[in-house]
Amino acid sequence: MVAVLELIDNLAGQYGRDRSSLLPILQGVVKQENYLSEYAMIEIARALNLPAAEVYGTATFYSFLEYKKMGKYLIRICKTITCSMKGKNQVLMAIEDMLKIKVGETTPDGMFSLLQTNCLGFCHMAPAMLINFDVYTDLTPEKVREILSGYLNKKGGADDTRI
């Protein structure tokens, strides 16, 4: 892991300093930092020679570019119609119960954040969720408890599922 400033410089070197590199750079920062801090957005603006407001305005448009501090593992559960019909709420309750957080919150130890998201494209295996970029489908309360236990056990370990 490198410091944000160095990371931005590396990303700009890799993708170029045109405006069309903005999304890949923002994504690169989110990949390492889990979110875009104000500092990071200002530095990206500087690197691409753009007004900071433009960077902020663009970043906040996209739901996968978080601009609030997020946990190491970001859970996004699909709330669109088929997942809702197939028991999303029970799964959500199991997660909330186990992690003691509500939708939109992060656990005090900074490990998990919980969000709802729109159609993930796994309606035929509903309900579905993402943890960072890993997909989990055909969820039930039991299954989701098992999955989270797996994450809790490796908590603090060196591994990271972000690809």
Stretch that binds another protein, among 2-10, 67-75, 95-103, 128-136 (CB under 8 A): 128-136
State yes or no: residue 98 binds another protein (CB under 8 A). no
Q: Which of 20, 51, 153, 159 binds another protein (CB under 8 A)?
A: 20
- Are residues 47 and 39 in contact, defined by beta-carbon separation less than 8 angstroms? no
- Residue 131: strand pairing partners: 75, 134
- Closest C-alpha among 150, 160, 138, 142 to residue 95: 142
Restricted to residues 136-155, the positions that interact with another protein (CB under 8 A) are none
Cis omega (within 30 of 0) for bond into 127: yes
Q: Binding residue for another protein (CB under 8 A) from 74, 120, 131, 139? A: 120
Helix, strand counts (H, E) of the chain = 7, 4
- Pick the closer one to another protein by CB: 49 or 156: 49
Sites of contact with another protein (CB under 8 A) = 18-24, 26-27, 57-58, 61-65, 79-82, 84-85, 117-126, 130, 133-135, 163
